[in-house]
């Protein structure tokens, strides 16, 4: 699989990243190298092998349905770029 | 050309847990904005979500109730997109491996039964809420409340088996009834704890291929679901017949205008880049857990309805009304067990009790009359102590004052006179005092009996047992 400038721009757009021309160049070649490295795995025959998404042999960790104290609203909004009436204030999305 | 609609529904049901899906914040509705949030649901760096066991049990409960297969292994995935109500930049959902698949639900429209397939049920977290200010200074802004962020949901996806807005409505109602019976969702559409999106397309009758579908959103009542789907079906047919083409898009229902309109959003193909959430282990469900949950399943609405018809020999209509909620059905069964009168009990509950409760918008759970109270009244009518008319009076009084039926009857002096000896004397007096009407009766005008009954009721202040008087009068007049 090969990566070109178009792929990089698409991924950057999905991640809301603005890239300069030189960054596009850089990431295209870097991503190309990373994918090439991972591609090596496809040399192995994995017929009949369950896909391994998790390597830790742990059982599902559950918590009981108990309410714990939440943050104070002041703390919750501490890092908000803008706030109003206890809410995060953001530019409107849909007209 | 004749067209047929093809409809599939996606239902989101909020689970009635106390805490959120992956953190301990409360799920309470209607609190002050951003007071039920913590670093986990706010998507702060370095936190770890831990799965709420009860939410999993509830999801399994629903899966079993609609005959799904519960997957012993399912996987939480990240659905990536940017929106202000989603602080992490992804929603934790299930994608290729949901908790349950391949179920079905039977519905009935105009007496015709039909089975709607259920493709899958998956678990996910809810997003926050966007509020819009009213003031001029609020224009151009949205306000984000993240209290709902992370509240557990199940999404129930139907097969495209639905062929009309009525069927869609019946399916939704059946689904909602089950969720409420199971006690895992409050089913409140206005508050958004039960939400529905509809995929609607049309195709020429007989065609095998599906047409292009539109996804309808923003239908927050059963009525709106029907209106939106009916409108959309007609819109697509008109469009095709006038040479146009349906485009795949999301359309919002405008309840004020009764139409659906394309949701204007940036033209971007959705690319959610799902990936297994590395913070969460696969959800392993043991056979023990499934059977544990199965053992807690209550009798479901349809089974209860059918049992009421066979066990109590009441009409299907009555059974439908009485099983509308688990509480009402339980109330009815208690009354029947005390009176041994299934139909009379049904009449009293469907007539008087529901009328009074509905007037106040009160739930049967908060009914001021206990089932034993209704049973007392029915027993008194049956035993001839009070008339049906008196019973209604007693019933209302009981509803208002919570006093026992016997006390009300005593205090109001309502006891019915059924004693034949006592009534015979009164009948005699009235008959003797009205010789002209007696003559009319003998001449064949039998309807003057009404006059006599009226006079006797007047004399006894309405306490005479009408059955007994009628019998005595006939004996006297025909003698």
Predicted confidence at residue A92, as pLDDT, reads: 87
Q: How many CB atoms lie within 10 A of CB B371?
A: 22
Query: Based on the domain organization, do B202 and B276 belong to the same domain?
Result: yes
Are both B320 and B467 inside the same structural domain? no
State the pTM of this model.
0.80
Place of tokens 């002041």: A74
Is B454 in the same domain as B396? no
Looking at the structure, tell me whether residues B79 and B51 fall in a common domain: yes
Output the domain CATH number for residue B472: 1.10.10.410
ipTM of the complex: 0.88
Tens digit of pLDDT at every position of chain B (479 positions): 899 999 999 999 999 999 999 999 999 999 999 999 999 999 999 999 999 999 999 999 999 999 999 999 999 999 998 889 999 999 999 999 999 999 999 998 998 999 999 999 999 999 999 988 888 888 889 999 999 999 999 999 999 999 999 999 999 999 999 999 999 999 999 889 999 999 999 999 989 899 999 999 989 899 999 999 999 999 999 999 999 999 988 999 998 999 999 886 554 557 899 999 999 999 999 999 999 999 999 998 888 999 999 999 999 999 999 998 889 999 999 999 999 999 999 999 998 899 999 888 888 988 999 999 999 989 888 877 787 788 888 888 889 888 888 888 777 777 777 777 777 888 888 888 888 888 888 888 888 888 888 888 887 777 787 788 888 888 878 77
Contacts of A93 in chain B (CB under 8 A): 83-84, 130, 142
- Minimum distance, in Å, between the CA of residue A15 and any CA atom of chain B: 8
The reported pLDDT for the residue numbered B267 is 47
Question: Do B325 and B188 sit in the same domain of this protein?
Answer: no
B424 and B402 housed in the same domain:
no
What residue numbers bound the domain in which B407 lies? 301-411
Do the bridges between strand B141-145 and strand B129-131 make them parallel or antiparallel, or are there none, so unpaired? antiparallel
Distance from CA of B276 to the nearest CA of A (A): 7
Q: Which of B135, B149, B263, B281 is the best mutation test for A, with the most CBs of A within 10 A?
A: B281
pLDDT score for B137: 84
Domain boundaries, chain A: 1-44
User: φ and ψ at B347, to 5 degrees?
Assistant: -60, -45
B257, B292, B327: which is the final residue of a domain? B292
Per-position b or e across B107-119, b if 16+ CB within 10 A of its CB: beeeeeeeebbbb
Of residues B158, B85, B70, the one with CA closest to residue B125: B85
CB distance A84–B143 less than 8 Å? yes
B31 at interface of A, judged by CB pairs closer than 8 A: no
**Residues B424 and B400 occupy one common structural domain:** no
Please count the structural domains in chain B. 3
Interchain proximity A94–B263, CB inside 8 Å: yes
Chosen domain end from B292, B324, B346: B292
CB B372 within 8 A of CB B379: no
B194 and B325 in a single domain? The answer is no
Domain A1-44 sits in CATH at 1.10.20.60
Written as one string, the DSSP assignment of A31-76 is HHHHHHHHHGGGGS--TTPPP-S--S--PPPEE-S-------HHHH
Distances (CA, A) of B189 to B14, B108, B258, B328, B382: 10, 22, 18, 21, 43
Say whether residue B77 is in contact with chain A using an 8 A CB cutoff: no
- Same domain for B340 and B282: no
By the 10 Å C-beta count (0-12 exposed, 13-18 middle, 19+ buried), B29 is classed as: middle
């Amino acid at each position: 699989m090969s990566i070109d400038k178009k792929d990089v721009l698409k991924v950057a757009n999905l991640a809301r990243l603005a890239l300069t021309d030189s960054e596009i160049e850089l990431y295209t070649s870097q991503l190309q190298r990373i994918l090439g490295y991972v591609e090596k795995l496809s040399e192995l025959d994995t017929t009949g092998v369950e896909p391994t998404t998790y390597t830790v042999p742990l059982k599902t960790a559950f918590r009981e349905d108990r309410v714990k104290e939440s943050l104070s609203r002041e703390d919750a909004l501490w890092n908000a770029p803008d706030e109003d009436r206890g809410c995060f204030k953001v530019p409107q999305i849909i007209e | 050309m004749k067209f047929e609609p093809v409809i599939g529904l996606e239902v989101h049901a909020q689970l009635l847990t106390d805490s959120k899906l992956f953190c301990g914040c409360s799920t309470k509705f209607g609190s002050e904005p951003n007071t039920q949030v913590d670093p986990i649901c706010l998507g702060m760096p370095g936190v770890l979500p831990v799965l709420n066991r009860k939410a999993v049990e509830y999801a399994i409960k629903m899966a079993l109730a609609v005959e799904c297969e519960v997957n012993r292994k399912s996987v939480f995935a990240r659905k990536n997109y940017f929106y202000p109500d989603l602080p992490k930049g992804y929603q934790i959902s299930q994608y290729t491996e949901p908790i349950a698949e391949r179920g079905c639900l039977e519905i009935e429209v105009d007496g015709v039964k039909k089975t709607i397939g259920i493709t899958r049920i998956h678990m996910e977290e809810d997003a926050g809420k966007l509020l819009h200010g009213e003031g001029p200074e609020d224009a151009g802004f949205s306000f984000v409340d993240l209290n709902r962020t992370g509240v557990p949901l199940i999404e129930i996806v139907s097969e495209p088996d639905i062929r009309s807005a009525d069927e869609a409505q019946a399916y939704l109602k059946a689904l909602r009834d089950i969720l409420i019976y199971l006690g895992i969702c409050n089913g409140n559409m206005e508050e958004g704890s039960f939400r529905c999106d509809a995929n609607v397309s049309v195709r020429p009758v007989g065609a095998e291929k599906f047409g292009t579908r539109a996804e309808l959103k923003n239908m927050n009542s059963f009525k709106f679901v029907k209106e939106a789907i009916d409108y959309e079906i007609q819109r697509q047919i008109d469009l095709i017949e006038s040479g146009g083409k349906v485009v795949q898009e999301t359309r919002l229902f405008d309840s004020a205008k009764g139409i659906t309109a394309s949701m204007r959003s940036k033209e971007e193909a959705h690319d959610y880049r799902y990936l297994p959430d590395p913070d969460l282990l696969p959800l392993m469900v043991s056979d023990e857990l499934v059977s544990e949950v199965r053992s807690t399943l209550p009798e479901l609405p349809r089974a209860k309805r059918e049992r009421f018809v066979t066990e109590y020999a009441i009409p299907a209509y009555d059974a439908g009304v009485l099983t509308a909620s688990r509480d009402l059905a339980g109330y009815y069964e208690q009354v029947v067990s005390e009176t041994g009168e299934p139909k009379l009990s049904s009449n009293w509950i469907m007539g008087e009790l529901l009328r009074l409760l509905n007037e106040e918008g009160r739930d049967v759970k908060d009914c001021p009359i206990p089932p034993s109270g209704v049973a007392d009244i029915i027993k008194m009518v049956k035993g001839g102590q009070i008339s049906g008319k008196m019973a209604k009076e007693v019933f209302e009084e009981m509803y208002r004052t919570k006093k026992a039926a016997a006390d009300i009857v005593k205090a109001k002096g309502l006891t019915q006179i059924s004693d034949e000896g006592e009534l015979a004397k009164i009948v005699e007096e009235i008959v003797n005092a009205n010789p002209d009407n007696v003559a009319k009766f003998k001449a064949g005008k039998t309807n003057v009996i009404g006059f006599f009954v009226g006079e006797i009721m007047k004399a006894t202040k309405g306490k005479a047992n009408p059955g007994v008087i009628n019998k005595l009068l006939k004996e006297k007049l025909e003698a």
